[in-house]
Structure 1
Amino acid sequence: MNKKLIYPLIISACLSGTCQAAMLAVEAGMMDWQSKASDYFGEAKDNNPFITLKGAVANDYGDVYGHVKWEDPDDGSYYGTEINVIGQINLGATDWNLYGQVFDKSKPSWGETNTMLGLSWDKSYGDTYLQVALAGHFVDATYKSFDANFEGGFNGGYVYFLASHQLNLFKQDFKLTWWQEHFFNREDDYLVLSGDGKDFGFNGALSVNWSFTKNLSFILSYRYAENNLGKQGYHDAIFYSLQYQL
């Protein structure tokens, strides 16, 4: 996935007059992985800085979200990139959509490109937003540390849900978000190479976004995974960051 594509797509859509809502932001912070992660992964998941560029655009036809994330930009041994693009195409006047996602993760010793294709449902209820997606999961992966190449292809199913709510407390704007994604019926070879171990796995995050000025916000997230993100069993982290939104 070309990192240069995300923002030109958003900008061009808005300049053409089809954009009804758009967001551009940069986020920087730390990933503070807890002992179940750091004891297993070492410095690869310990106290790791990150920088993320993110954007989204929506109109009558659907919406697109994308981000590019740099992990450990100051350490070549653990430096990694993450690119995620999610698109929904509205199915008429319903709350149902065609759903597509491409998620690419690259580290010095391994890399994965995950593609999810399926259906989604989303709806806003005042200050609350809900989204659910069901998709097939296709993966292309390389694991240099095992001197092995995963053949790739269909890798089971994918279920995703998200709930967010905006509120005002003490004249301050907050946004609460909870999302979780689930993988099932995955290939045995993939489970060995990825380290996930078991067929069913999930990961997610519970976050609080405090907008203390018009453009600046502080984000605190609890990040967790079970049989996912490279480890069998449970591991978790606290992410904290500052975000500047245009």
Structure 2
Amino acid sequence: MLQTLDRFFRHSALTLCALAVSTLASAAARADALDPVWSFRNVSLNYLDWSKGTEERTASNAAKGDFFFLELEGGVGYTWGEFYGFADLENPGNDHREQDGRDNLRSAAKVTSHIYLGESPFSVYLHVYDFRDYGFDVREQDQILGFGYRHTFDNGLWVKPFLGAAHVNSNSYTGMNGYMLGWVAGYDFQALEQKFSLTNWHEMTFERDDDYLSQNYVNGTADALGNNGAVALWWHPLSEVTAGVQYRYSVNKLGTPEAYQNATIYTVKYNF
């Protein structure tokens, strides 16, 4: 089954890329092709507070500790496609290697894109995530290529699911690494004369490679199925300011096999 899926995704990816190139070429011929339909950008200060249970469950398996992080985030949409990205610096001001490795300087960055397939709600989906822990000299980059979809319901709820083949490049394993199914979703609403929004991102990885699962996890081998995501409530008191609280969750991810991990993230953004 895995070989059949591999052949299917490779053939489909080539077809989708050809369609995407055709769409981009058509868009480039229009004078307004590079005029954004929408865009946003912000810088934020964040504090991630792991639950006590998570710190206990991961004590000997990629131990987790609370930390501050700075983030640059932005997105832009055109008539032919859209892009989103962020770059995080965790434990800013700390040395690369701290006495307690949980306090090491780390970085994370992510870029995603939907290249629209004509006027349809379908797209070519591309996704790159890069993580580095400079104290332990750990690095991992995940690359996803597949299908995307976009839909907005009558009540304003929007959702963008995707499914793609995964490739990983890390210290101990480089190669194909199963598949990723995921989505981002959001809903804007008002309460007490204030503007709020709910968002959710979720990633489920499956059929991951056995060598990756044994070599990229601490004191154990992870299951082939992993889940990773967050649910957030955002308050928009001013156009320049956003405050939010996120519930962060994962299992068989972040270097820890089996154990469920959860945290609360407190965020203040400046929108510019």
> How far off is 1:41 after superposition?
4.7
**2:211 matched to 1:189?**
yes
**Counterpart code for 1:237:** A
Q: Taking structure 2 as the reference length, what is the TM-score of the superposition?
A: 0.79
Q: Equivalent of 1:102, from 123, 128, 153?
A: 128
Secondary structure of 1:27's partner?
A: strand
> Which whole-Å deviations, capped at 9, do the CAs of 1:152-201 have from their partners, x for residues lacking one?
11000100022210001011010101221000111112112222611101
User: Are the equivalent residues in 2 in contact too, given 1:34–1:46 (CA < 8 A)?
Assistant: no
**Counterpart code for 1:79:** L
**2:239 matched to 1:220?**
no
| Residue ranges of structure 2 left out of the alignment (5+ in a row) | 1-31, 98-103
Aligned length: 225
What RMSD, in angstroms, separates the aligned Cα atoms of the two structures? Answer: 1.8
Cα distance in 2 for residues equivalent to 1:96 and 1:35? 42
2:55 alignment counterpart = 38
User: Are the equivalent residues in 1 in contact too, given 2:50–2:264 (CA < 8 A)?
Assistant: yes
Cα distance in 1 for residues equivalent to 2:46 and 2:111? 21
What does 1:119-130 align with in structure 2 at a 5 Å threshold? 119-126=147-154, 127-130=156-159
What does 1:28-67 align with in structure 2 at a 5 Å threshold? 28-39=45-56, 40-41=58-59, 45-67=64-86
Q: Which runs of 4+ in 1 moved over 6 A?
A: none
**Counterpart code for 1:133:** F
> Which whole-Å deviations, capped at 9, do the CAs of 1:98-137 have from their partners, x for residues lacking one?
0000100000221101100000101122521111100000
User: Are the equivalent residues in 1 in contact too, given 2:33–2:79 (CA < 8 A)?
Assistant: no
Secondary structure of 2:252's partner?
A: strand
* Change in 2 beyond 3 A, CA 1:123/1:67: same
**2:111 matched to 1:85?**
yes
Q: Equivalent of 2:168, from 125, 130, 139?
A: 139
- Structure 1 or 2: more strand by fraction: 1
Cα distance in 1 for residues equivalent to 2:195 and 2:268? 15
Cα distance in 2 for residues equivalent to 1:209 and 1:198? 33
Secondary structure of 2:213's partner?
A: helix
Identity of aligned residues (%): 25
User: Are the equivalent residues in 1 in contact too, given 2:112–2:126 (CA < 8 A)?
Assistant: yes
User: Are the equivalent residues in 1 in contact too, given 2:33–2:80 (CA < 8 A)?
Assistant: no
2:270 alignment counterpart = 244
| Residue ranges of structure 1 left out of the alignment (5+ in a row) | 1-14, 143-148
> Which whole-Å deviations, capped at 9, do the CAs of 1:34-53 have from their partners, x for residues lacking one?
12332325896222000100
**2:180 matched to 1:158?**
yes
Cα distance in 1 for residues equivalent to 2:181 and 2:38? 26
> How far off is 1:27 after superposition?
1.1
* Change in 2 beyond 3 A, CA 1:16/1:135: closer
Cα distance in 1 for residues equivalent to 2:216 and 2:176? 15
1:146 alignment counterpart = none
**2:98 matched to 1:73?**
no
Secondary structure of 1:212's partner?
A: strand
Secondary structure of 1:36's partner?
A: helix
Highest Rg: 1 or 2?
A: 2
Cα distance in 2 for residues equivalent to 1:214 and 1:44? 38
User: Are the equivalent residues in 2 in contact too, given 1:71–1:81 (CA < 8 A)?
Assistant: yes
**2:252 matched to 1:230?**
no
**Counterpart code for 1:182:** M
Q: Taking structure 1 as the reference length, what is the TM-score of the superposition?
A: 0.87
> How far off is 1:221 after superposition?
0.2
